[in-house]
Amino acid sequence: MASLKVRICCLLAYATFLSQMISCQSLPKEHVALFILGDSLFDPGNNNYINTTNDYRANFWPYGRTFFGYPTGRFSDGRLIQDFIAEYAGLPLIPAFLQPGNHKFMYGVNFASGGAGALVETHQGLVIDLKTQVIYFKKVEKSLRQEVGDAEAKRLLSRAVYLISIGANEYLSRNSSISDEGYVAMVMGNMTLAVKEIYKIGGRKFGFPGMAPLGCSPFLRSQAGGNGSCFEEVNKISQLHQRELPKTLQKLEKQLPGFKYSVYNFYKTISERLNNPSKYGFKDATTACCGSGVYRGTYSCGGKRGIKEYELCENSSENFYFDSYHPSEKAFQQFAEEMWSGGSDVISPYNIKQLFEA
């Protein structure tokens, strides 16, 4: 009888040990969340759920044609930079904040809105401006506190990486009565306010893609006389933004203990591809895959923006640009790879992988 009891105790102890081992193995792997704010560079489809026009939406064919096979609201033929970053970090696709469903937010969430700016006035009433995106982030923080408790929420938010892309829409629709320097200062000022608000809530690690040479988009090339030249006036302010962004972040680093940042030289890396497309596997870096008119620079991709007729190339990966403004998935993947693990010649003082590991 005693020996039977001993056997039962041993079996129970072994069963408990096994269940503990299994539960340990099934615990989620330690991860760093990814929060995303900004404009169409990062919008995964938030604008699908707001009252806006098709100028600020991409939820119709042929957007999404290559990877998803259907339009998600991303302004490209497939994935965007943050989708690849999430993959490299071992995270799932980060959902749009406004996407219906029960978001747990443990892996992060995406607030970006196509057409959004750092200034509330930029496309006001048609997009989710940066200030409103930060208000949404505060709602997520509250939800996380309720879900996992104050201490765990604080830990998650302080370890998370925050990607922010902002400014392009200001420079594409700017008020010419204000100097380039004044306009960039306004964008930097509002972006700084947003970063400080996120920092107050716990954010410490921030990544910025910098600014593209906007004047070389098919849309602006077509406005520059149709001779293949870029619109240099717009490129001038784009370059100024790219120069001023690191200076602004260096100031924040001095003011905010524990603040870490990463700036990708988007102006340089896009220019390299536009000047030497074949080196990066593109056949055409001047003409969009989807659109109409000179360089397919008329923003008609999908036929739902006032012009029904549009042209569509056969293979999106041969073109650097997918539509009149936005790069193709192939280009976005190249940027994501450089942002993730590139050297100081393209991204500094940290790359995004280093931010995740910090």
* Candidate list 40, 76, 238, 324, residue with the active-site label: 40
Amino acid identity for residue 219 in this structure: F
Catalytic, 271? Answer no
43 among known catalytic residues: no
Beta strands in the chain (DSSP E): 34-38, 108-110, 161-165, 205-208, 260-264, 290-291, 311-312, 347-349
154-172: burial string, b at 16+ Cβ within 10 Å, e else: bebbebbbbbbbbbbbbbb
Residues contacting residue 50 through CB under 8 Å, at least 6 positions apart: 98, 113, 127, 128
To 10 degrees, the CA torsion angle through 217, 235, 129, 188? Answer: 160
Going by their DSSP bridges, the two strands 205-208 and 260-264 should be labelled as parallel
Among residues 129, 323, 324, 328, the one annotated as catalytic is 323
Tokens of 81: 């930079």
Per annotation, catalytic residue among 43, 217, 326, 328: 326
Residue with tokens 């201490």: 151
Q: For residues 245 and 188, is the Cβ–Cβ distance under 8 A?
A: yes
Query: What are the DSSP calls for 106-125, one per residue?
Result: TTEEE---TT--SSTTTTTT
Active site residue 328: no
State the CB neighbour count (10 A cutoff) for residue 202.
16
Report how far residue 251's alpha carbon sits from residue 231's, in angstroms, rounded to the nearest whole number. 31
Residues labelled catalytic? 40, 323, 326
